Amino acid sequence: MMKEKIRALATQLHGETVSLRRHLHRHPELSFEEYETSAFVKSALDQLGIPYRSMANTGVVAEIKGDLPSEQVIALRADMDALPIMEVEGREYGSQQPGVMHACGHDVHTSSLLGTAKILQSLKKEFGGTIRLIFQPGEERLPGGASLMIKEGVLADPVPQAVIGQHVMPLIEAGKVGFRSGKYMASTDELYVTVKGKGGHGAQPQQNIDPVVITAHIITALQQIVSRVADPKTPSVLSFGKVIANGATNVIPNEVYLEGTFRTFDEAWRKKAHTHMKKMAEGIAESMGGSCDFEVRVGYPFLVNEEKLTAEARDYAEDYLGTENVVDLDLWLAAEDFAYYSQVADACFYRLGTGNTARGITSAVHTPTFDIDENALALSTGLMAYIALRKLGN
C-alpha cells in the first residue's frame, strides 16, 4: 500500500534529512543571497537524477514526472532564506555565519522538500502526473521571492492544480500538523515615516517646533485607524517598532523617524487604510506646525487556503497521521509570501509541529533560541509526499 511505502521511506531517510537540515542550518544565507544554498539544492537534485532549472536568480524549480499516464500537476514549495539574527552559542549545528540564522525554519522546509523529492523519485513508477518542486528565495524580504518566481512562470506551462506548502510551528508539538481553510495569514505593508519640525534647546520649546511631541500625537492618533475606522469584523493590526529621535536630554531634534507595519485581511479596506493613515499623520503634523512624509511600501497580500483543497489535504493528513494528530489553526496576523501563490492558484499552506515542551523546545520563530524537535523531519517528508500523491489521484 502506498501509505506504508511512504512511511517506511520517510523513516529510512530520517537521518539523511536531519543531516541536510543541519548542513543548511550551519550555512544560512540572507534573502536573495542564497547562492550556496541554491548550489546545495541543485547538487542534491543531481544525485537524485531530478532535472531542474534556475529561476529568480537563486531559486530552483524541479519536476518529477510519474511513469503512469496523467496530465495532473501539483506544486510543492519550500523557502530557503535565513534572517539577520545572531544565534545562541553552544549548538553542535549552530550557524557558522555570524549574525545570520535560520530562525524561521526555512532550513527545515528545504531539507524536507529534498527528502520528499527522494521519496517521490523512488516511487515514480507507481504514480501518474507531475510534481513540481519549488525552492524559493527571499521569503523574508519584499518584494518576496514568490512574486518573482510567479512573474518568471513558476506556475505556468502548465498551471498546477494545487500549490502546497508547509511551515514550522513551535507552538504545535512534533508529530502533529495544523490546517485552516479560507483566510489564514494577513497582508503586510511596511510604513516609513519622517516627522519634521524645528529643533533647538529643550529649555526653549517656544522657539522650536517639536517633532517628538508631534510624533507622539501621530502614533496615538493612528491607533484610531484600527479601533474606530476599521470594521470590527475585519482583523487589523497597526504597530510601530522603530522610533528614532536623535536629540538629547536638552536637545529637541529637527526630525523623528518611524518604521511600522500594517496588516489586515481585506484588500479594499487595506487600500482605504493607507489613505487614512497618510492623511491623518500629515494633518496632525501640519496642525502643529510641522510636516510629515508618510511612505507605505505595499507588501504581501493575505493568504487564502482554498477550501476544497485544504479539506482534502486535511483528510489525507488524518489518514496518514491519525485524526488526533491534526489540529485546527486560528487566524494568524503574521504574513507569508506564499500568499502570492494562493492569489493565483488553489493553495494549501499547513503547519508542521516542531515543538517539544518536555525537552524545552518552545522558542518562537524569529528568536535567537529557535530550534526544532528533529523527529518532525520524518513526518514532514512523508506527509507532503502522501498529500501530493493522493491529490494526484494515486
Distance between CA 271 and CA 329 in Å, rounded? 27
Please say if the pLDDT value at position 76 is more than 80: yes
Helices within the chain (DSSP H only) = 2-12, 14-26, 35-48, 106-122, 145-151, 211-222, 224, 267-287, 307-321, 339-344, 376-391
Please say if the pLDDT value at position 394 is more than 80: no
Given the residues 139, 140, 266, 336, the one annotated as active site: 139
Q: What percent of the chain has pLDDT over 70?
A: 100
Average pLDDT over residues 165-169: 98
Q: What percent of the chain has pLDDT over 90?
A: 99
Residue 231 appears among annotated catalytic residues: no
Please say if the pLDDT value at position 277 is more than 90: yes
282 pLDDT band, cuts 50/70/90, is: very high
Average pLDDT over residues 267-288: 98
238 pLDDT band, cuts 50/70/90, is: very high
Q: pLDDT tens for residues 194-237? A: 999 999 999 999 999 999 999 999 999 999 999 999 999 999 99
Domain ends where: 251, 275, 298?
Answer: 298
Given the residues 79, 81, 336, 374, the one annotated as active site: 81
Residue 139 appears among annotated catalytic residues: yes
CATH number at residue 321: 3.40.630.10
Grid look-up 497597526 returns 238
Helix (H) / strand (E) element for 193: namely strand 189-196
What does the buried/exposed string (b/e) look like for 56-68 if buried means 16 or more CB atoms within 10 Å of the residue's CB? bebbbbbebbbee
The closest alpha carbon to 37, from 95, 88, 122, belongs to: 95
Grid look-up 545572531 returns 86
**Domain of 288?**
189-298
pLDDT of 1 reads: 85
- Claim to verify: residue 164 and residue 95 sit in the same structural domain: yes
pLDDT of 15 reads: 97
Alpha carbon separation from 329 to 48, 148, 164, 184, 315 (Å, rounded): 35, 28, 16, 8, 15
- Claim to verify: residue 128 and residue 260 sit in the same structural domain: no
| pTM attached to this predicted model | 0.94
Mean pLDDT, the chain, integer: 97
Q: Give the chain's domain count.
A: 2
Residue 201's contacts (CB-CB under 8 Å, 6 or more residues apart) are 207, 208, 250, 251, 252
What does the buried/exposed string (b/e) look like for 251-290 if buried means 16 or more CB atoms within 10 Å of the residue's CB? ebbbbbbbebbbbbbbeebbeebbebbbebbbebbeebeb
- Claim to verify: residue 195 and residue 181 sit in the same structural domain: no
Average pLDDT over residues 375-393: 97
Domain ends where: 298, 333, 366?
Answer: 298
- Pairing between β-strand 182-185 and β-strand 162-173 as defined by DSSP bridges: unpaired
CB 186 within 8 A of CB 267: no
From start to end of 320-376, where are the E strands? Answer: 326-328, 347-355
- Claim to verify: residue 269 and residue 328 sit in the same structural domain: no
Please say if the pLDDT value at position 129 is more than 80: yes
Domain ends where: 271, 298, 325?
Answer: 298
Q: pLDDT tens for residues 318-350? A: 999 999 999 999 999 999 999 999 999 999 999
